[in-house]
Amino acid sequence: DSGVTQTPKHLITATGQRVTLRCSPRSGDLSVYWYQQSLDQGLQFLIHYYNGEERAKGNILERFSAQQFPDLHSELNLSSLELGDSALYFCASSDFDRPDTQYFGPGTRLTVL
């Protein structure tokens, strides 16, 4: 168990809808990263937050947004969902003093029908 929690575990929704994925980092970790894993694209970095501030953006669509709250949990919001958004979404956290090692949550499997 990495200490990173993600909810929900599974999410099934329809095209055009909006969903929110939640992540709680390991105790004491200030950095949160979001990744999308799909069969055709592999593991893609989406966005990185550190202590509530956005630090870096990767291949994140404009329909997607994220935030990190004062208690350090993070949410990834996906809107106007398309079939191609079906994927596993992972959150990872790291200690700022050792930003090199990331600890991954179990993921949220999103299915868009």
Partner 1 sequence: AQSVAQPEDQVNVAEGNPLTVKCTYSVSGNPYLFWYVQYPNRGLQFLLKYITGDNLVKGSYGFEAEFNKSQTSFHLKKPSALVSDSALYFCAVRSKDNYGQNFVFGPGTRLSVLP
Residues that bind partner 1 (CB under 8 A): 2, 4, 33, 35, 42-43, 45, 48, 55-56, 58, 90, 92, 99-107
CB of 56 to partner 1, least distance (A): 5
CB of 83 to partner 1, least distance (A): 22
Amino acid making up residue 24: S
SS3 (DSSP) at 65? strand
SS3 (DSSP) at 83? helix
**DSSP annotation of 91:** E
For the record, the structure tokens of 69 come out as 């709250």
In the complex with partner 1, the residue whose CB is nearer, 33 or 64, is: 33
In the complex with partner 1, the residue whose CB is nearer, 4 or 21, is: 4
- Cβ neighbours for 50, distance < 8 A, ≥ 6 positions apart: 30, 31, 32, 68, 96
CB of 112 to partner 1, least distance (A): 19
In the complex with partner 1, the residue whose CB is nearer, 45 or 67, is: 45
In the complex with partner 1, the residue whose CB is nearer, 33 or 85, is: 33
For the record, the structure tokens of 40 come out as 């055709």
